[in-house]
C-alpha cells in the first residue's frame, strides 16, 4: 500500500477513535439562593469567552508592535426556555432589581453578584467543573412571539456581565 494512503488511513482512524467533546456535553449551575434548583433544564445555549487580552499597537517604522494593556471581563449569554409560570423571566427580573433601584440608584456588588458554574460532561454524564464566574445580570434580550411556530418552546437570551477579570475573590 502507498505510504501516503497508510498515513491518511491512520489519521482517519485516529480521528474517528478520539473521544471528542460533543456540543451538548455541558451543564450549568447557578449559585444563588433565589435561583431555580433545576435551572440547567431551562438553558438551551451557552456562549461566553474564557479569556481575552486587549492590546494597543504602536507604529515602528513601517511595522508595528503590540503591547498587552488589560484583560477584559466579558459576558455570558444564555438562550433560555421558559415555562408557563414564567419561572426564568421572574427570576431574572428579580436579579435585575437587585442591581438597579426604581429611583435610578445602584446597589453594591455584594447584593447582586452571584456565581455561574459551567461543567463539562463525559459520555457517562459525570460532571467536571470547567469554570466558575462571578456575574451580574445586564439584559434580558428580545422575546419573540409567533403563532407560525406552534410547536416551539418560547425562548429568549439572558446576558450576564462577568464581575471581574482578575482574581476570583468571593463577595
What are the tens digits of pLDDT across the range 74-123?
999 999 999 999 999 999 999 999 999 999 999 999 999 999 999 999 88
Q: For position 68, what pLDDT does the model report?
A: 93
Binned at pLDDT 50, 70 and 90, residue 168 comes out as low
Phi, psi of 48 (to 5 degrees): -160, 160
The predicted model gives 8-36 an average pLDDT of 89
The HSE-up count of residue 162 (CA atoms within 13 Å, CB side) is 23
Maximum mean pLDDT: which of 4-8, 65-69, 143-147: 65-69
Residue that has been written with the C-alpha cell 477579570 in this structure: 165
Contact by Cβ (8 Å): 116, 132: yes
| Start-to-end CA span in the chain (Å) | 64
pLDDT band (50, 70, 90) for residue 171? low
28-45: pLDDT as tens digits: 999 999 999 999 999 999
- Helices of type H across the chain: 3-17, 39-42, 87-99
Amino acid at each position: 500500500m502507498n505510504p501516503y494512503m497508510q498515513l491518511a488511513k491512520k489519521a482517519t482512524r485516529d480521528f474517528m477513535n478520539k473521544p471528542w467533546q460533543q456540543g451538548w456535553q455541558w451543564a450549568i449551575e447557578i449559585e444563588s439562593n433565589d435561583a431555580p434548583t433545576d435551572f440547567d433544564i431551562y438553558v438551551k445555549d451557552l456562549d461566553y469567552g474564557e479569556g481575552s487580552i486587549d492590546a494597543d499597537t504602536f507604529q515602528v517604522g513601517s511595522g508595528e508592535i503590540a503591547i498587552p494593556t488589560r484583560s477584559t471581563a466579558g459576558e455570558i449569554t444564555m438562550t433560555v426556555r421558559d415555562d408557563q409560570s414564567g419561572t426564568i423571566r421572574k427570576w431574572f427580573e428579580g436579579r435585575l432589581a437587585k442591581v438597579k433601584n426604581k429611583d435610578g440608584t445602584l446597589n453594591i456588588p455584594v447584593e447582586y453578584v452571584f456565581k455561574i458554574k459551567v461543567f463539562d460532561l463525559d459520555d457517562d454524564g459525570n460532571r467536571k467543573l470547567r469554570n466558575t464566574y462571578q456575574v451580574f445580570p445586564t439584559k434580558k434580550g428580545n422575546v419573540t412571539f409567533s403563532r407560525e411556530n406552534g410547536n416551539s418552546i418560547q425562548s429568549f437570551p439572558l446576558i450576564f456581565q462577568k464581575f471581574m477579570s482578575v482574581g476570583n475573590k468571593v463577595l
